[in-house]
Amino acid sequence: MATQYEVEHNVEFSEPRRSGRRVDMASFFSLLNQLSEPSGDQTPQHNPHATPTPVDTAALFHLLQDQLQTLHTTAPSADNREFLESLIASIEDDIHDPPTRLRGVSQEFVDALDRVNRKTLDQDDDCAICKVPYLEDEYCLVVELPCKGGHQFDLECVGPWLRSKGTCPMCREEMGRKKEVPVVEDDGEEDQDMMYA
């Protein structure tokens, strides 16, 4: 099965591509595909009333937590270790009290995230999750989240978090919600002028 990375770059690696501290999320995505609700182009489940069981949902979060703990053991800095600990702790709540429905975003949302042009990245820019500098990867695939902070991550690192949690890992702003159009309050002076014209 081709990874998101291989699909995006139209490449196929003969051996699994692992650089730096990246982790293998194949088991996570396999379980996620079993648990997630089908979108428009997917075949619906045989039982339309089937919902993930708490055990299945907890197992999904446990897989994500395990991969983050793997990164935590080799964290290159105290800041990265603390950041990963906050993500791990957030997932702990979902393991002990699994939601009845995954709050994550759809794969379509992840696929539509803004890609960051390689030319705009600095040599020391890195992913907050894996801490691998983006430009060390010949085919880096960096996305910018639609949060107020415009946080950037490797797609491979942030994809599992977004699919399961649905928030920005940095600021925890919810993703996938429709943007609200700000309501401009009118002082009413124009309306009064028009009434008497």
Q: By C-alpha distance, which of 163, 183, 165, 185 is closest to 174?
A: 165
Q: State the pLDDT at residue 50.
A: 59
**H or E element in which residue 108 lies:** helix 107-111
Q: How many helices (H) and strands (E) does the chain have?
A: 7, 3
Question: In the block, which residue shows the tokens 């990245």?
Answer: 121
Does position 65 have pLDDT exceeding 60, yes or no?
Answer: yes
CA–CA dist 138, 140 (Å, integer): 6
- State if pTM tops 0.85: no
Looking at the DSSP bridge assignments, the partners of residue 151 are none
124-174 per-position pLDDT tens digit: 999 999 999 999 988 889 999 999 999 999 999 999 999 999 999 999 999
Give the sheet arrangement for strand 152-154, strand by strand: 114-115, 142-144, 152-154
Question: In the block, which residue shows the tokens 């648990």?
Answer: 35
* Percentage of the chain lying above the pLDDT 70 cut: 70
Q: Phi/psi of residue 142, each to 5°?
A: -105, 135
Residues listed for the chain? 197
30-64 per-position pLDDT tens digit: 888 887 765 544 444 455 555 678 888 899 999 99
Q: By C-alpha distance, which of 53, 45, 34 is closest to 163?
A: 34
- Is there a contact between 18 and 128 (Cβ–Cβ < 8 Å)? no
Triad 48, 54, 56: Cα angle to 5°: 75
